[in-house]
Amino acid sequence: MSILIRGAEDFLSSARTLETPLTPDPEAFLKEREAASTFHTEEVPLGSLTNWHLGDRISHSSGRFFAIEGLSVRTNFGPTPQWYQPIIVQPEIGILGILVKRIHGVHHFLMQAKMEPGNSALVQYCATVQATPSNYQRVHGGRSTPYLDYFLDPGPRVVVFDQLLSEHSSWYLYKRNRNMIVEVPEHEEVPAADDFTWLTLGQLRGLLAQGNRVNMNARTVLSAIAYATPNPSAGVAREPDGFHGEIVRSHRSGASDDALASAMTWLIDQKAGFSLDVKRIDLPRMAGWICDEQGIRHHEGRHFRIVGLSVGATSREVGTWAQPMLQPNPGNVVCFVCRRHQGTLMFLVQAMAQPGATDRVELAATVQSTLGSYRGPRDLPPLAEVLDCDRSWVVVDAVQSEDGGRFRHADTRHLVVRIPDDQVIEAPANYRWMSLGLLNRLLRLGYYVNVEARSLMACLL
Amino acid sequence: MSILIRGAEDFLSSARTLETPLTPDPEAFLKEREAASTFHTEEVPLGSLTNWHLGDRISHSSGRFFAIEGLSVRTNFGPTPQWYQPIIVQPEIGILGILVKRIHGVHHFLMQAKMEPGNSALVQYCATVQATPSNYQRVHGGRSTPYLDYFLDPGPRVVVFDQLLSEHSSWYLYKRNRNMIVEVPEHEEVPAADDFTWLTLGQLRGLLAQGNRVNMNARTVLSAIAYATPNPSAGVAREPDGFHGEIVRSHRSGASDDALASAMTWLIDQKAGFSLDVKRIDLPRMAGWICDEQGIRHHEGRHFRIVGLSVGATSREVGTWAQPMLQPNPGNVVCFVCRRHQGTLMFLVQAMAQPGATDRVELAATVQSTLGSYRGPRDLPPLAEVLDCDRSWVVVDAVQSEDGGRFRHADTRHLVVRIPDDQVIEAPANYRWMSLGLLNRLLRLGYYVNVEARSLMACLL
């Protein structure tokens, strides 16, 4: 039934708890790895960064990594028809890959405990491989990337998932990474290197519920996992009950070819209805922004700042370095509203234009908002009132970090609100109810579901 | 088996010749419509165009239609790492839609005989609807667009195909149009308005073989047609033989989920390997180009010119108008090499980066070349030697026009060369053999097959 997921029909089994798990205490493993290294991060003037040039754009002396440029944006999406902003330009396509292997009959995911300088909780679980060509071709002379060849050259192993997916289209211009899941056969030995450990999906779910334990790059890869129809011969008998059972059933619903075609037609209508015109400009030409040696900031202190960060660490590819970071104002929130409709849990998504989106519009969560940027009620997005709903409706509430390699202290509250079956919601025409099965199928086709919504979907696994 | 094609399993039947066709002589119909109107086109200075402003960019006083800007391009695809060029910016998403209806059991396509000022053969068959929002919202006060509502609001009719597809990514920046095929039920009356007539696929194939009879917009929509597995109950018994039979079998081959996933993985490898960095700039900043009141041209006369065109006509939405046009140097050619492999006809495609491509790289024909732009052998694309192959290998050879609403005298020679089964071709790593079935499935997913290759695929129907 799915185009790209192969051999994934019993990922569900990995949600079971083993009696003797390989990693008995994933939290303790994180703490231990954090204690094994010393980290120090400090904000420094943007003009003081070695090898970074600050001029019409901010770029690295090697010409690699990323640059920060100005962007002029015009759109009919949202309340603001025209603005300027800094944006990160990173044309390289990185690999975000997770190795999966069935151990004692249960799928395990090879996760790395990794420090990222921007994260509030510095060490988190990331994908098996998280690397741009600049990293793994060792432009800055770092160490080699473990497990890279499993993804660059999978050989006879099963490529469960392989797709380009967008990232943070409000902060990155046309950024996409290659999201991969590769399954190694049970009989193949894959030793876990330092900082690496095998976790079940059940353990990952526990970490996701805690918040700030599974990094953004791991979440986007995990979001591609589908709970497909169980294979009767595999003997995965017990169906989960409660809310998780409803999630699994929503994954198995509504993903017919007709439903997909109908959703795509609706999304094309949205793309045709929203205009978006972006133009890369020199940083000093951004009206409303102050650019100097200290950094880049909005003249009213809104949105985000571009700052310099000095990092001292022993467990990353390079011991110490300094780089620009994007630091958003606090208050980011992403929220799905869900409701049961004819027995299936449906999620309210919106077609959202974002300046850096490769194809203008992608599906976003019900509410995706930078509350710290808003000036007043006029700026509040539609349906923001659900953020103040009855606490008993909240089924997911955890703070997750954005990519800590580019964003500093970018903590986003992840909410899923389940409203009563008879509760009426009046949503604008660019909103639509979808099952998780349909959303997952769209996600796997490429630039259809934005990273903020995918991150939330990972929290629902 | 297909995601988006519904109800299309017996498009094949429309290839049959009716004993009493609805339109006995499609060529005569074109000639008659051409005679019924008078047209006059004339090149005029770019600076003389009413309502068009010539400055840092060329734009219309309404802010609608399209603009022409400068583009700075850097890429590792092809022999030229860096250049400047003018490019057409047209963010609006137009509709290219064809109505199809089974008449006397045979599928008929509602085609319009339409004048486009840039075409060498002025009047050609175009899609039922070919309109941008600027057209159908009547920005320039023209007539209403017939049949538009069949596509804006298909109601219970079957949407056979609906997808955003790219156009001419060397001349347009991020241009895409909505390609649609809508089938009306047999019992629904759809009167053919003036200039419109119903043609079978067999008749369209004959016109395509003549060349310059079916316009680019019609060809891109037609390229989405798949020869799917015949429905035994439909009684479409006779299989075509000869070359056309091989085409039909190639359409029915190699489009499994595994083949699709493998092709996508290969294409992601190509996207990761090719860099492309484009930046919109002011026209006067394009080194190597001359911009003045006469027009825009390359200082060595290469590539193309931007000219003014004055048009007098009685059969288009507006009687007379003037507009900028892109006029390429002559010598454009697009060529597929095909060869039988294990009984199936396979086509050699290449992953090609083009400056205006929405996602950097799409699949192109074996050779896609603007011979008029080349300075010498170093500039010749790989495999260009097939253009001089044995004449007996040529199975398609016809000149087709590009979009005559934006391009002037843009006549592209369409070639398909079938090489002997034992002929060896050495192609670079960004080339791959694909069946028509796989190519068609990729095409229907969106930005995977470029318009030049799609146009060639339409000639193979």
pLDDT in tens, B154-173: 999 999 999 999 999 999 99
pLDDT of amino acid A232: 57
Both tokens of B160, joined, read: 């056979």
Which stretch of DSSP H or E encloses residue A249? helix A242-251
Quick one: which of B382, B359, B452 has its CA closest to B167? B452
Q: Are B236 and B228 in contact (CB under 8 A)?
A: no
Q: Are B170 and B326 in contact (CB under 8 A)?
A: no
Quick one: which of A193, A179, A177 has its CA closest to A145? A193
Q: Is A276 on the interface with B (CB under 8 A)?
A: yes
pLDDT of amino acid A1: 25
Quick one: which of A347, A346, A351, A348 has its CA closest to A269? A351
Instruction: Please report, for residues A417, A452, B40, B160, the alpha-carbon distance to residue A384 in angstroms, rounded to integers and kept in the order given.
Output: 12, 16, 57, 38
For chain B, give percent helix, strand, coil, nearest 5.
25, 35, 40
Q: Is B358 on the interface with A (CB under 8 A)?
A: yes
Distance from CA of B1 to the nearest CA of A (A): 9
pLDDT in tens, A317-344: 557 889 999 999 999 999 999 999 999 9
* Facing residue for B359 by CB, picked from A258, A275, A358: A358
* Facing residue for B178 by CB, picked from A162, A272, A275: A272
Mean pLDDT lowest among A46-50, A123-127, A243-247, A304-308: A243-247
Q: Do B359 and A447 touch (CB under 8 A)?
A: yes
Residue whose tokens read 């005029």? B44
Quick one: which of A81, A272, A68, A87 has its CA closest to A168? A87
Q: Is A28 on the interface with B (CB under 8 A)?
A: no
Q: Do B264 and A159 touch (CB under 8 A)?
A: no
Q: Are A412 and A452 in contact (CB under 8 A)?
A: yes
Q: Is B258 on the interface with A (CB under 8 A)?
A: yes
* Residue, of B316 and B337, whose pLDDT is higher: B337
First to last CA, chain A: 19
Residue A20 has pLDDT above 90, yes or no: no
Distance from CA of B390 to the nearest CA of A (A): 39
Quick one: which of A342, A349, A305 has its CA closest to A325? A305
Distance from CA of B398 to the nearest CA of A (A): 33
Alpha helices (runs of H) in B168-211, residue ranges in sequence order: 201-210
Q: Is B178 on the interface with A (CB under 8 A)?
A: yes
B275 CB neighbours in chain A (<8 A) are 91
Distance from CA of B432 to the nearest CA of A (A): 18
The mean pLDDT of A34-45, rounded to a whole number, is 88
| pLDDT class of A128 with cuts at 50, 70, 90 | very high
Q: Is A161 on the interface with B (CB under 8 A)?
A: no
Distance from CA of B171 to the nearest CA of A (A): 18
* Facing residue for B257 by CB, picked from A3, A93, A164: A3
* Facing residue for B6 by CB, picked from A2, A261, A264: A261
Q: Note the ipTM here.
A: 0.90
Both tokens of B39, joined, read: 């047209």
- List b or e across A207-244, with b for residues whose CB sees 16 or more CB atoms inside 10 angstroms: bbeebbbbbbbbbbbbbbbbbbebeeeeebeeeeeeee
Residue whose tokens read 């709970």? A227
Q: Which residue of A has its CA nearest to B5?
A: A261
* Facing residue for B93 by CB, picked from A178, A271, A277: A271
Q: Do A261 and B3 touch (CB under 8 A)?
A: yes
B272 CB neighbours in chain A (<8 A) are 93, 133, 178
Residue B350 CA neighbour count, 13 Å, CB half? 25
pLDDT of amino acid B40: 86
pLDDT in tens, B199-242: 999 999 999 999 999 999 999 999 999 876 665 555 554 667 78
d(Cα B438, Cα B436) in Å, to the nearest integer? 5
Backbone angles phi, psi at A226, to 5 degrees: -115, 140
Both tokens of B43, joined, read: 């090149």
Distance from CA of A279 to the nearest CA of B (A): 6
Q: Is B439 on the interface with A (CB under 8 A)?
A: no
Residue B5 has pLDDT above 60, yes or no: no
Amino acid identity, position A431: Y
Which CATH class name applies to A257-276+329-458?
A: alpha beta
Quick one: which of A21, A434, A454 has its CA closest to A200? A21
* Residue, of A247 and A314, whose pLDDT is higher: A247
A277 CB neighbours in chain B (<8 A) are 91
∠ CA B29-B35-B41, nearest 5°, is: 120
d(Cα A207, Cα A87) in Å, to the nearest integer? 31
pLDDT in tens, B391-428: 999 999 999 999 999 999 999 999 999 999 999 899 99
A447 CB neighbours in chain B (<8 A) are 359
Q: Are B179 and B165 in contact (CB under 8 A)?
A: yes
The torsion of the CA quartet A185, A186, A187, A192, rounded to 10 degrees, works out to 90
A445 CB neighbours in chain B (<8 A) are 445
In chain B, % of residues over pLDDT 70: 90
Ranked by mean pLDDT, the top range of A218-232, B245-259, B300-314, B334-348 is B334-348
Residue whose tokens read 């603009």? B67
Q: Is B72 on the interface with A (CB under 8 A)?
A: no
Q: Which residue of B has its CA nearest to A3?
A: B257
Q: Are A407 and A326 in contact (CB under 8 A)?
A: yes
Q: Do B91 and A275 touch (CB under 8 A)?
A: yes
Q: Is A164 on the interface with B (CB under 8 A)?
A: yes
Residue A5 has pLDDT above 50, yes or no: no
Distance from CA of B60 to the nearest CA of A (A): 16
CATH architecture type of domain A2-38+91-242: Alpha-Beta Complex (3.90)
HEC profile of B245-311: HHHHHHHCCCCCHHHHHHHHHHHHHHHHHCCEEEEEECHHHCCCEEECCCCEEECCCCCEEEEEEEE
Q: Do A272 and B93 touch (CB under 8 A)?
A: yes
Q: Is A359 on the interface with B (CB under 8 A)?
A: yes
Residue A126 has pLDDT above 90, yes or no: yes
* Facing residue for A91 by CB, picked from B3, B277, B446: B277
Both tokens of B54, joined, read: 């010539």
Task: Quickly count: other Cβ atoms within 10 Å of residue B235's Cβ.
Answer: 10
Q: Are strands A123-126 and A106-115 parallel, antiparallel or unpaired?
A: antiparallel
d(Cα B5, Cα B64) in Å, to the nearest integer? 33
pLDDT of amino acid B426: 93
Q: Is B275 on the interface with A (CB under 8 A)?
A: yes
Both tokens of B305, joined, read: 């010119």
Distance from CA of B30 to the nearest CA of A (A): 32
Residue A283 has pLDDT above 80, yes or no: yes
HEC profile of A57-112: CEEECCCCCCEEEEEEEEECCCCCCEEEEEEEECCCCEEEEEEEEEECCEEEEEEE
* Facing residue for A265 by CB, picked from B92, B133, B159: B159
* Residue, of A6 and B271, whose pLDDT is higher: B271
Identify the residue among A76, A95, A164, A269 best suited for mutation to test binding to B, counting B beta carbons within 10 A and taking the highest: A164
Q: Are strands B276-281 and B67-75 parallel, antiparallel or unpaired?
A: antiparallel
Mean pLDDT lowest among A313-317, B79-83, B295-299, B336-340: A313-317
The torsion of the CA quartet A322, A326, A328, A334, rounded to 10 degrees, works out to -120
Residue A9 has pLDDT above 80, yes or no: no
Judged on CB neighbours under 10 Å (0-12, 13-18, 19+), A360 is buried
In chain A, residues under CATH classification 3.90.79.40 are 2-38+91-242, 257-276+329-458
pLDDT in tens, B93-125: 999 999 999 998 889 999 999 999 999 998 999
Q: Do B261 and A164 touch (CB under 8 A)?
A: no
pLDDT of amino acid A3: 27
* Residue, of A234 and A29, whose pLDDT is higher: A29
In a 3-state reduction of DSSP, which class is residue A227?
coil
d(Cα B322, Cα B316) in Å, to the nearest integer? 13
pLDDT in tens, A287-299: 999 999 999 999 9
B9 CB neighbours in chain A (<8 A) are none
* Facing residue for A265 by CB, picked from B162, B280, B358: B162
Residues 6+ apart with CB under 8 A from A157: A150, A182, A183, A184, A185, A188
| pLDDT class of B138 with cuts at 50, 70, 90 | low
pLDDT in tens, A372-386: 677 777 778 889 999
pLDDT of amino acid A227: 78
Residue B88 has pLDDT above 90, yes or no: yes
Q: Do B272 and A163 touch (CB under 8 A)?
A: no
Q: Is A285 on the interface with B (CB under 8 A)?
A: no
d(Cα B437, Cα B321) in Å, to the nearest integer? 43
Q: Is B3 on the interface with A (CB under 8 A)?
A: yes
Residues 6+ apart with CB under 8 A from A179: A96, A97, A161, A162, A163, A164, A165, A220, A221, A224
Q: Do B447 and A359 touch (CB under 8 A)?
A: yes
Task: Quickly count: other Cβ atoms within 10 Å of residue B353's Cβ.
Answer: 22
Both tokens of A274, joined, read: 């929203």
